Structure 1
Amino acid sequence: MGRRWDTYTGTQYPDRGVTPQPATHLRAALLALNGTEVPFVVRAARPEEKADLVAEWRIQEPAWQSLFARSRLNRQLRIRMRLIPEKCEVRTLDEQWEVTWVGTTPTFATSRQYSRGPATTVSQRWTYEQGPDGRRRRVETFSFDSRELKDPLRTTVLGAGWTWRGVVFKL
């Protein structure tokens, strides 16, 4: 479909001259991204996920209190990856779920949302507090950026000489 579609889907190509590594090496490199210092997990996909690997990030944002209720947002971001060795490309599908809970215990969901396709999500929470100089200042209390999950995956794939191809409908 051309470069315009590639831009929409987030497709990126490796640098010229990079020799593609075998699929087994790429798979091992992606699984090696797991660790205690990263907030996500890369794992082998289950059969019903119709992929080779899955990267997941579950986030529970801090609750906020209003005059009438207490609210909390749970978000899950999943990137399903299918390795296509014949073309040296990794097809990726982004999926995101959001559930907003209201109440002192998470018993009532006020909204649920599901989206799929290429997406960049940034969420931040701020509070105001008194600084050391006595002036009021903004302090970040929560931050989420989906690029913290996608960038290491994409960098690993491109470094292995493979194409990172975002898809919208199915892998």
Structure 2
Amino acid sequence: MASRPRTPLPARLPLLDRLMDPEPDRAADAPLSAAETVERLRRSVHRDLEALLNARRPWRSVPDTTPALRLSPLGYGIPDFTAGAFNDRRQREALRAEVEEAIRRFEPRLTQVQVQLADDGDLLRSTLRLRIDALLRVDPAPEPIVFDTVVDTTTADVTLRPLYEA
């Protein structure tokens, strides 16, 4: 029996996004095109990444003997960094690595995640700029997704702005 070639499935929104109704007054929603689905998926990732990076993990670190805890709600978010001295390259690099690891751990819709410091030369500013590059897992081919990220080191707010030219 010959196997048929696999037909790629269209991108599918996560369950929560499918349950949320942006137009509750309409009795039925029109089906989304593949492009609309990918765009909604991008917005969903944007929303969820911003929530992840604005969540703070408890001060105590997870012991190396319990790696499963890193994937639990106890490991969700990034450490509190408001006491850091971000004019020090090592502090900036440590936060960059934490952001990249948190995304790799808690955002399965992204692959090949890379977070880079976007140095603007002014080390006395109270913001740190990062660039997040990744591939959004969709069929038939992954889509590049890029965010310009601003970390306010005094208020601990993280803001993501999508960049569509990858």
- Taking structure 2 as the reference length, the TM-score comes to 0.31
Where is the helix percentage greater, Structure 1 or Structure 2?
2
- Taking structure 1 as the reference length, the TM-score comes to 0.31
Where is the strand percentage greater, Structure 1 or Structure 2?
1
Higher relative contact order by CA 8 Å / sep ≥ 6: 1 or 2?
1
